[in-house]
Every structure is written in C-alpha cells, then in structure tokens.
C-alpha cells in the first residue's frame, strides 16, 4: 500500500523524525513531499492521486473538495491532535477514514509554562536582550513562584500535569473548567471570572472551538490584576489579540507569554510578539524529541492497522469508513 507523507522536509525533520519514517517504510511504500511549502488542496490532490493513505502534519489541510477527487484514498491520518482543518463530514461521505494522534506533548508544554512564569517574573529575556545589545539591564524586583497563584483555564491532561508541577513549587492552584470534576482538595475550582481576578499567572489551556473563540478578550482582561501575567499555550483563537495588545500597551496587565497566535501555523502574531512586555516563542511547546516521536510513531501504528483493515485508536469516523481494505485471511 502506498502512503504520502505530506510534511515538508523541515516539518518532516522537526515533527516526524527518521525513526518513525523508517518504521512507516517498513509497512508501506512511502512517497515524500519534497517542496518547501505546505500542500494546498490542488497540490495535495496532484501528489496523492496514486496513494491510499495520506499522513499529514497540521499545516496540510484536508478540505472537502479533495476526497471525491481521490478515489484510491482510504484514510487521512493527521500527525497531530488538531483536526479542525480536515472536513471530516466530507471524508465520511466519501468513505475515507480520518484519524488523529493523541497528545504526546503534555510534559513538554507544561514545562514551557513553568519557564514562561520564571522568565516573566524575573526578567530573564529582557535582561539577556539588554546584555546582548551592550546595554546595562534595569534591576527590577521579581516575583517568586512559591506562594503565588496560578490560574489554569482548561483542566485537561496538560492542565492536570501543570497543576502538579505548580503544587510542587509551592504555588496555590486555581482552575476554571466547567466540564470537569476535581477531587483534589488542594486545587480551588472556580468560575473563570473569579480565577481571573485572583491569579498572579493566568495560563490558557482550554480547547479551541466556537464556544471558546476570543475567550480572553475585552470582558476577561479587565478582570485580571495589574501585576498578573497572561500565558497562552493553547490556540490563538482563544484570544482577542486587539484587546490583549491594548491591555499590554496600557500596562493594565504586567505582561504575556505566547507560544501560539493567529499568524500562520498558529504562530504568535508579530504585532503582539514585538511588544516589550511580551515573551514569544514560535509554536515550540511540543517540539521535543519525546513529544514528536510519540505522535509520529502513533501514526505509523495507525497506518499499519489501516493496512490490516482495522480502525485504529484515534479514528474519528470509523462508522463511515467504507473504503476499508479487504482483510486477508
């Protein structure tokens, strides 16, 4: 069976890796995308005409128009958790299986949140930039994490892991998530408005969907304390960037750290990233060898199951999969 690995060479190096690529080659004939730009709908159709499975990174969309044009295609395998740019309904109508990877970046993202909090509180990036530019950094009183309050918005796997790290550091943990029950008496579960008003660090880890679009915006930001910091490690869609920029410029909050935003590939927006009280990183929260290998090796196992005619873990529309390979006796 033939598989298209749709990652660009750079994305393949950063988000797939040689070990998983060799594993994929062990179970299928692999066609590699050689161009430096992500495949759009037309280019994806051209590249996948002769393949039965597409393994795609988050930059490669799966719009509805491609599925009727690829009659050989059996499955669209996403090497990421986020499948919002895949038209699952259209894939289902065509009988094409869609899968997603499970999160393997829990520790990686949570550790970055801790690093952000230390940097924001102690001016690490600011002082380093001054030294690099030959300037004497301003000496400013910092804040220690021990004894401070972290407010976690969204208590999924990353939020739970981060809460454990924060408690180990002596922080008071506040959580806003109306969809979970928290049995840990040391964690304070409360409405979002209350969390915003009490936390020294607000860490956004909520799921991006229609209900959370611009969750942090003109109504939410004024509720934060003036000395508080905002951290986004989820998706740019959760933030009204104009409102955040205004709050930062007017020093209504102390600063922000962003690994995501509304720029292409969920990168932080340059307009926000250049502000002096912002720390920004280029969507690297899950970019560690352990994190990327978790997801790439999972897609390898998914492909092997699909070839056997089995719906793997991570399938989102198995009930509509009519282009299933015939199971060999």
User: What is residue 327's predicted lDDT score, i.e. its pLDDT?
Assistant: 64
Residues of the chain with pLDDT under 50: 329
User: What is residue 326's predicted lDDT score, i.e. its pLDDT?
Assistant: 79
User: What is residue 328's predicted lDDT score, i.e. its pLDDT?
Assistant: 54
Phi, psi of 5, rounded to the nearest 5 degrees: -95, 105
Structure tokens at 26: 């062990």
User: What is residue 329's predicted lDDT score, i.e. its pLDDT?
Assistant: 45
């Amino acid at each position: 069976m033939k598989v298209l690995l749709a990652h660009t060479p750079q994305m393949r190096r950063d988000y797939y890796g040689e070990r998983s690529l060799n594993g994929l080659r062990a179970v299928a004939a692999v066609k590699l995308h050689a161009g430096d730009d992500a495949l759009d709908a037309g280019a994806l159709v051209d590249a996948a005409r002769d393949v039965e499975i597409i393994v795609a990174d988050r930059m490669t969309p799966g719009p509805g128009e491609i599925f009727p044009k690829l009659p050989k295609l059996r499955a669209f395998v996403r090497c990421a958790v986020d499948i919002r740019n895949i038209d699952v309904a259209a894939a289902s109508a065509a009988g094409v299986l869609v899968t997603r990877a499970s999160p393997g970046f829990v520790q990686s993202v949570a550790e970055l949140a801790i690093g952000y909090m230390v940097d924001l509180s102690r001016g690490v990036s600011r002082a380093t930039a001054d030294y690099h530019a030959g300037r004497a950094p301003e000496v400013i009183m910092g804040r220690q994490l021990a004894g401070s309050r972290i407010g976690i918005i969204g208590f999924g796997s990353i939020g739970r892991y981060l809460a454990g790290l924060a408690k180990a550091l002596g922080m008071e943990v506040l959580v806003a998530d109306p969809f979970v029950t928290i049995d840990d008496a040391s964690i304070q579960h409360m409405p979002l408005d209350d969390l915003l008003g009490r936390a020294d660090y607000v860490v956004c880890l909520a799921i991006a969907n229609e209900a959370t679009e611009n969750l942090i915006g003109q109504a939410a930001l004024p509720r934060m304390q003036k000395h508080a910091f905002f951290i986004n490690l989820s998706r740019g869609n959760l933030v009204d960037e104009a409102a955040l920029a205004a709050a930062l410029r007017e020093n209504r909050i102390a600063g922000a750290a962003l690994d995501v935003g509304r720029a292409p590939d969920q990168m932080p927006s340059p307009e926000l990233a250049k502000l002096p009280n912002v720390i920004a990183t280029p969507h690297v929260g899950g970019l560690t060898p352990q994190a990327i290998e978790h997801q790439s090796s999972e897609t390898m196992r998914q492909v092997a199951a699909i070839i056997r005619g089995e719906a793997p873990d991570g399938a989102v529309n198995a009930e509509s999969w009519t282009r299933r390979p015939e199971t060999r006796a």
